[in-house]
Structure 1
Amino acid sequence: MRLSLLLPLANLATRHARTLVALAGLWLLACALFCFDIERRLTLDPGWDAPDSGSALAAAHMRDELGRNETPVVVLFSPRPGGPGEVDAADYRQAVDDALTPLYGNPDIGSLHTYYTTGNPALRSRDGTMTYAIVNLKRGHDEGVAAYQHLRASLASDRLDIRLGGELAVYVDVREQLDHDLKLAETISFVLLAGLLVWVFRSGVAAVLPLIVGAVTIVTSVACLKLATWVTDINVYAPNVVSMLGLGLAVDYSLFMVSRFREELALDQATDLALRTTMLTAGRTLVFSGVTVAASLFCLFLLPQRFFHNMGLAGGISVASAMLTTIVLLPALLAILGRRVNRLVPPFLARRPPDTGETGNWYRFSHFVMRHARSVLLVSLAILLVMGLPVKDMKVGPADSRSLPLTAESRQVQQNLENHFPTSEVAPIVVVVHSRDVLTAPASLSALYQLSDAIAGLPGVTRVAGLMSLDPGFSLADYQMLYQHPDQFPQAAAALDEFSRDRTTLMYVHFKQDPTSPEARALVAAIRALARPPALAKVHVGGFPAFHLDYLDTLGHHVPIVLAAIVGVIFVLLFLMLGSLLVPLKVVLTNLLSLSATFGALVWIIQEGHLSGLLGFTPQGALDGTILVLIFASAFGLSIDYEVFLLSRVKEMCDLTKGDSLKSVSTGMQRSGPIITNAALLIGVVLGAFAMGQVVFIKAIGLGLLLSVLVDATLVRMLLVPATLRLMGWLNWWAPKPLMRVYQRLNLGEIETDFRSKQE
């Protein structure tokens, strides 16, 4: 069998180590200078819209044909001690007008509606102490964030308390909180990792290496992310993925490489030979692991939303950067250090020689597991199935202001709207209509009247605002007369100007239900199911409830394809690594069980709110579909990470022992078990730091990945895998002859067992 292509890299690291490290230093400096302003290149549009969906088409027509590219901001007024207390009082109205006066003439504001200008009772609280204005901000290239910040700075009152809410306000608060959480998580991660790495390696020198690899990985990933902004839009969430996955995997991979290198040194191998062996064993495993994790993340490109493309790209870049840094820079550092990698041992952590023989704890533990393989298998499966039971109660819903801490201003506004106002008219369903003839033609007006009347009659609808809502007492004949002579009726002219352009008009459908509720989505479906009058060419239904309905429909259609692709890619890559047909199948099945346990735990914690007091969040009542997809893709890849670490050593031992299943599994467990446990602990620290953030979206992702890693490193790798390997026996490495010929032709298997003697 020919030697791996990683051998030239090992030789390069041995002969030109200092040059490689110097080049890496220059690369790090260049990347840091290049990416320091990446935030200016990132788009504030998350990219959640499903292309060509009804809601996306409605938004596009509103923007292109009606010139409506605005987002509503709620300006909530409430009494201050000593200030006016009744909304209907003259001094309260004067205070509101004084606060809003700086906004008139602001070019960023499309329109402004108050209780006093519209007389709409929905803008007045039930007890008459609070009111809110709706300010429609123009989105612009930055989704209206700059306009929002200017609006926030312009509002002030010494008589009333003013707070801002709405979708844009929630978005800005989330971004500001995420920036704070990200910096805090990175700081905590590095500090904790530094201490834990010293404890794991029992060497200060060895402990520094994963941190160096992690820093280079993150900076490289961010620089590559900035390059990607030149060819596509990258949203502001992507750097969070880079930090979380990049740092975690860099530490994992470094731990695996450094541990194998020190193991070879302990066998009295020369530094250059130890490094070559490390690269051809651990390095090969890391390449397969990195390709597998990256491939699972790149499968997110099969979803139509740009958000998932960004997450897949950011994740893939992070994995590739971690893998390349580990197999290019780390070997050079190890070549320079040699046996000095074991120096700076803390006095309280005297280094023990690694126990890789048949007397180690992991060897004995694996023997116990395999002696009771059937019982262990049944107990492990039972635990995973019980953990996964809550999945049957899973509900999928959108993220809202409850994702923020209670101190967030936008969340407080949302709570006030829900608790103190009869109905909220901040997130209406929008119906965009195209008529075949001019809008003021009798047939067009008749069709609009018919459609508006049908929508108003649907359960839950409180009112429909549009051309047909000037007066509840007007008949169709009245509207036809008004709009045929708009120059004589200012009310009709104003309505045409507000709601229409050419043959396009829109209706705002206000309703009782929460915009995030299933009932709101059902109302969207009911509107779309209404018969379209013949005089109307097109009818598109948009707004937040429609967007979320389309989002869920898109996930329902595409996610099974993505999951199948992830499973298929991982199956193929594991076969190419191991030359086995049944082991990859077993891996896929056990990982699916592990993920079901993870999702069950998320339902129990995030959806139902158990441990919410301890973790500091509000129960969500549902899980965001975005979270579920990202966790599946990332966790499936990460779980394969540990599977590859274990199986590579088992396969290596199997080749050395000529197929002795019991000994190969036990020895493989003895040599990889401590590494997998330590790797899970270290990456758990990184994910746990992110899980402690204040935004539930990132908290749920960090917590979900943390749970997945813990379940995978304990129940699955320590119990389920050795038990199934024992029960399958020789079938572990079986493959049909045609597939085995493919495997042998590609020559991606392990190195020859007599490699060390050949090198000597």
Structure 2
Amino acid sequence: MSRGSVTVRVARWSATHPWRAIGLWLLLVVVAVGMSVVVPKQQTESRDTWVGQSGQAAGVIEKAGLGDVPTETVLLTDPDGPLDRVAASTAIAQLRQKLEGLDSVRTVGQAVFSENGKAALVPMELKGTADDAADNIEKIVATTAEVQRANPGLTITQAGSASVDAGIWKQVGTDLAKAEKLSLPITFALMLLAFGALIAAGIPVLLAFSAVGAALGFYAPLSYLFPDGGSVANVVLLIGMAVGVDYSLFYLKREREERRKGRTTLDAVEIAAATSGHSVVVSGLAVIVSMAGLYVAQDATFASMATATIVVVAVAVLGSLTVLPALLAKLGHRVDRPRVPLLWRLNRRIGPGGISSRVLAPVLRHPRAALSLSAVAVVALAVPALGMKTEPADLNTLPQSIPEVRTFKELQANFPAQGGLSYDVVAQGGDAVAGLTRLQQSAVQSGKFVAPDDAIRQADGTAVLTLVSVLPESSENGEGALNQLRNELAPAALGSVAWAVGGESAESVDYGNNQRDKLPYVIAFVLALTLVMMAVTFRSVAIALVTTVLNVASVAACFGVLALVFQHSWAEGLLDFTSAGFVVSWIPLFLFVILVGLSMDYHVFVLGRIREGVAEGLAPREAVRKGITESAGVVTSAAAVMVSVFAVFATLGMLEMKQMGVGLAVAVLIDATLVRIVMLPSIMVLLGRKAWWPNRLHRQAPVQAERELITV
């Protein structure tokens, strides 16, 4: 990179005006955090996730004004055995009195006792829409809890769409707080190991954390265009800490390296800007390009994730190019103070690339054998991905520690017609009611569905039939019941009447299938753009193709491990989860774009160091050795940070967050070791100068003869 490049000019200005750069950064962070306080973040609404036939049905139902009234159910059981009807009747009277006094409750229905005598339920209808119910649910749940305290001999709990969602959000908040508490000290400890000095270790963590805070603030107004689907805070913390620390690490390591060579602080900062700064920009653009692939899925939740991630990556890049040079220029050699004696001496004794050179030496001596063995290992890890099952999330993927989830399952067990998988069959036309009546009879006679009271409702030529599956709630049962309705029962009963099958269970199935169908388009978009980007950056077709192949290898290995871990029960005790037998449908698509972006992080950095060696006139083998060993410390530290942050998410309660954490941690570990230290150097050595075609470097004669590599 030219010493007159944009990254160098920005770094030079920041280094010569440090207080201005630091002040502007602090102002940016303060304004962003202020925005998060002043501007309320918008959440997705149910219509934002409508897709396929169920989306069409939901639109027709909403237009006709036949949408379900929001409901909640209070469940009463006796922990010591069959339900005491006298005690239950007393509690039910208290519930009715208190619930009817709430402004958000429309009506409280009559209590229903289960046929097995073990439970009773009290249904209620809420005022307004489902979104209104979500806003008012806390008071209703608090009222139920108040009656529970007054009747300690009974177990009185509540479940419904609004209360289950509230329980999930509470769990997400708890998980996020846990992730914050663990990720910061772990990241700082790893930086301390990498630098052996407190200030140098603290700078990357501080900048990453400030980037996360700023990104969440900037996302608040953007949420009016891309409303939060529920995972934005988790994703911003996950990705922001990883890339924020990495970008600062790349820059800081190179600046320290140049100072050790005797350069002044300003010269060291400029060289770091020309090399690592350029790699940071390319890496950031790679992550942004990859995340943009989520827009191809045309999904509101993915769009919010993509937007928030793009913002946090952009802020992290900006911080590493501006405030970081200012801090380094102001601190000078004091950035290596105060030193931790033992860690400082250990780092000096190992030296840059001390460990990696021992691993790399046999790889460079026998590149064909190394490439063959590593390829076999990656293929072996990837093979289970061929049998990976993806299904939408359901009750079985939610933590059983959420009280509302446990209540919902007990409700299904005691009252099959009140809970479980529900479907709305909407029909339009003169024979709609008659057709739905026939459908109700045939569905109930099949023994696989039940119909609640007043199952058919109609208005303005549109009629809706609600059916509930008697099977336990699961993704497999949900899709099976939906297929039976759509492919067999509905066509036979409704004939030429226009119809569609929707409802919550159908929406979940259609949503998962839509994500599965969009995956090939997302993959094609991301791979094509990153291939073009790498070809332009390094002016080499071969480098672009190698990058694409290695990215696919890392992702395939990641998917294989996901299938091994989460479709079987052997890791349940280790990771504290109950296997649902599948991977949640949105995880593979999300992981793909994230992994391609993050793997480019240090891939660009390593290739940049190799290219420096080739440009200096080194023979290809020597350039690979020099590039890998000189970047190994940074790559190892960066990968350790990513793996540790992602591993924290593997300890959280939500199965989706656990799958995401395991997938990312495993993929980065494989990518930073097997792929980048074995496969990449093997391929680069075998290609020689052809790797840089059509860049002029592939024609440049080496000025230094290739020397024998000695195992240290």
Normalised to the residue count of structure 2, the TM-score between the two structures is: 0.90
Distance 1:198 1:532 in 2: 69
Give the alignment partner of residue 207 of structure 2, picking from 203, 206, 213.
213
Instruction: Give the SS at the match of 1:206.
Output: helix
Instruction: Give the SS at the match of 1:350.
Output: helix
Match of 2:365, as an amino acid?
R
Conserved? CA contact 1:464–1:507, under 8 Å: no
Q: 1:92 and 2:82 equivalent?
A: no
Deviation at 1:14, TM superposition (A): 2.3
Q: 1:596 and 2:592 equivalent?
A: no
Instruction: Give the SS at the match of 1:348.
Output: helix
Q: 1:692 and 2:651 equivalent?
A: yes
Q: 1:500 and 2:471 equivalent?
A: no
Deviation at 1:138, TM superposition (A): 4.8
Taking the TM superposition and a 5 Å limit, the aligned residue runs for 1:244-283 are: 244-283=238-277
Give the alignment partner of residue 131 of structure 1, picking from 120, 127, 131.
120
Distance 2:432 2:638 in 1: 67
Q: Which residue of 2 aligns with 1:642?
A: 602
Q: Which residue of 2 aligns with 1:520?
A: 478
Conserved? CA contact 1:45–1:143, under 8 Å: no
Q: Which residue of 2 aligns with 1:482?
A: none
Instruction: Give the SS at the match of 2:390.
Output: coil
Distance 2:226 2:525 in 1: 24
Distance 1:299 1:139 in 2: 37
Given the superposition, is the C-alpha separation of residues 191 and 425 from structure 1 closer, same or farther in structure 2, using an over 3 Å criterion?
closer
Deviation at 1:543, TM superposition (A): 1.4
Q: Which residue of 2 aligns with 1:673?
A: 632
Conserved? CA contact 1:14–1:332, under 8 Å: yes
Taking the TM superposition and a 5 Å limit, the aligned residue runs for 1:694-709 are: 694-709=653-668
Distance 2:180 2:35 in 1: 20
Q: Which residue of 2 aligns with 1:334?
A: 328
Give the alignment partner of residue 375 of structure 1, picking from 369, 373, 380.
369
Match of 1:64, as an amino acid?
K
Distance 2:115 2:204 in 1: 57
Taking the TM superposition and a 5 Å limit, the aligned residue runs for 1:158-557 are: 158=151, 159-351=153-345, 352-353=347-348, 360-417=354-411, 419=413, 425-435=419-429, 437=430, 443-456=431-444, 460-463=448-451, 466=454, 499-529=457-487, 530-531=490-491, 538-557=498-517
Conserved? CA contact 1:574–1:584, under 8 Å: yes
Q: 1:146 and 2:105 equivalent?
A: no
- Summarize deviations over 1:281-336 as a string: whole Å, max 9, x none: 00001100000011101110011220111111111111111111111111111111
Instruction: Give the SS at the match of 1:68.
Output: coil
Q: 1:41 and 2:41 equivalent?
A: yes
Q: Which residue of 2 aligns with 1:655?
A: 615
Q: Which residue of 2 aligns with 1:755?
A: none
Normalised to the residue count of structure 1, the TM-score between the two structures is: 0.85
Conserved? CA contact 1:433–1:536, under 8 Å: no
Match of 1:92, as an amino acid?
A
Task: Tell which structure's C-alpha radius of gyration is larger.
Answer: 1
Deviation at 1:425, TM superposition (A): 3.2
Distance 2:295 2:454 in 1: 39
Match of 1:374, as an amino acid?
R
Match of 1:413, as an amino acid?
T
Conserved? CA contact 2:72–2:158, under 8 Å: yes
Distance 1:23 1:420 in 2: 61
Given the superposition, is the C-alpha separation of residues 446 and 167 from structure 1 closer, same or farther in structure 2, using an over 3 Å criterion?
closer
Match of 2:95, as an amino acid?
A
Given the superposition, is the C-alpha separation of residues 534 and 369 from structure 1 closer, same or farther in structure 2, using an over 3 Å criterion?
closer
Distance 1:255 1:244 in 2: 17
Distance 1:450 1:311 in 2: 44
Q: Which residue of 2 aligns with 1:29?
A: 30
Q: Which residue of 2 aligns with 1:120?
A: none
Distance 2:227 2:408 in 1: 30
Bigger shift: residues 526-535 or 162-171 = 526-535
Conserved? CA contact 1:170–1:400, under 8 Å: no
Q: Which residue of 2 aligns with 1:584?
A: 544
Distance 2:179 2:10 in 1: 34
Bigger shift: residues 555-564 or 261-270 = 555-564
May I ask how many residue pairs the two structures share in their alignment? 689
Given the superposition, is the C-alpha separation of residues 612 and 104 from structure 1 closer, same or farther in structure 2, using an over 3 Å criterion?
same
Deviation at 1:36, TM superposition (A): 3.1
Instruction: Give the SS at the match of 2:471.
Output: coil
Bigger shift: residues 318-327 or 92-101 = 92-101
Structure 1 unaligned regions, length at least 5: 117-122, 438-442, 469-498, 745-760
Deviation at 1:422, TM superposition (A): 5.3
Conserved? CA contact 1:571–1:588, under 8 Å: yes
Q: Which residue of 1 aligns with 2:5?
A: 4
Q: 1:19 and 2:20 equivalent?
A: yes
Q: 1:104 and 2:100 equivalent?
A: yes
Distance 2:321 2:349 in 1: 23
Q: 1:664 and 2:623 equivalent?
A: yes
Structure 2 unaligned regions, length at least 5: 699-712
- Summarize deviations over 1:204-246 as a string: whole Å, max 9, x none: 1211210221122112101110120243423332111111111
Deviation at 1:61, TM superposition (A): 2.9
Q: Which residue of 1 aligns with 2:705?
A: none
For the aligned residues, what is the CA RMSD?
2.8
Instruction: Give the SS at the match of 2:491.
Output: coil
Distance 1:173 1:350 in 2: 47
Conserved? CA contact 2:420–2:470, under 8 Å: no
Distance 1:220 1:398 in 2: 32
Deviation at 1:701, TM superposition (A): 1.2
Conserved? CA contact 1:444–1:535, under 8 Å: no
Conserved? CA contact 1:455–1:464, under 8 Å: no
Given the superposition, is the C-alpha separation of residues 231 and 444 from structure 1 closer, same or farther in structure 2, using an over 3 Å criterion?
closer
Q: 1:615 and 2:575 equivalent?
A: yes
Percent same amino acid at aligned positions? 25
Instruction: Give the SS at the match of 1:552.
Output: helix
Distance 1:139 1:521 in 2: 30
Q: Which residue of 2 aligns with 1:63?
A: 62
Match of 2:571, as an amino acid?
L
Instruction: Give the SS at the match of 2:118.
Output: coil
Conserved? CA contact 2:392–2:512, under 8 Å: no
Deviation at 1:561, TM superposition (A): 0.5
Q: Which residue of 2 aligns with 1:490?
A: none
Deviation at 1:427, TM superposition (A): 3.5
Distance 1:720 1:673 in 2: 14
Match of 2:141, as an amino acid?
R
Conserved? CA contact 1:134–1:426, under 8 Å: no
Given the superposition, is the C-alpha separation of residues 444 and 41 from structure 1 closer, same or farther in structure 2, using an over 3 Å criterion?
closer
Distance 2:129 2:279 in 1: 48
Given the superposition, is the C-alpha separation of residues 564 and 447 from structure 1 closer, same or farther in structure 2, using an over 3 Å criterion?
same
Instruction: Give the SS at the match of 1:36.
Output: helix
Conserved? CA contact 1:46–1:236, under 8 Å: no
Conserved? CA contact 1:125–1:131, under 8 Å: no
Conserved? CA contact 2:50–2:58, under 8 Å: no
Distance 2:609 2:28 in 1: 34
Distance 1:535 1:303 in 2: 34
Instruction: Give the SS at the match of 2:49.
Output: coil
Given the superposition, is the C-alpha separation of residues 519 and 174 from structure 1 closer, same or farther in structure 2, using an over 3 Å criterion?
closer
Conserved? CA contact 2:130–2:162, under 8 Å: no
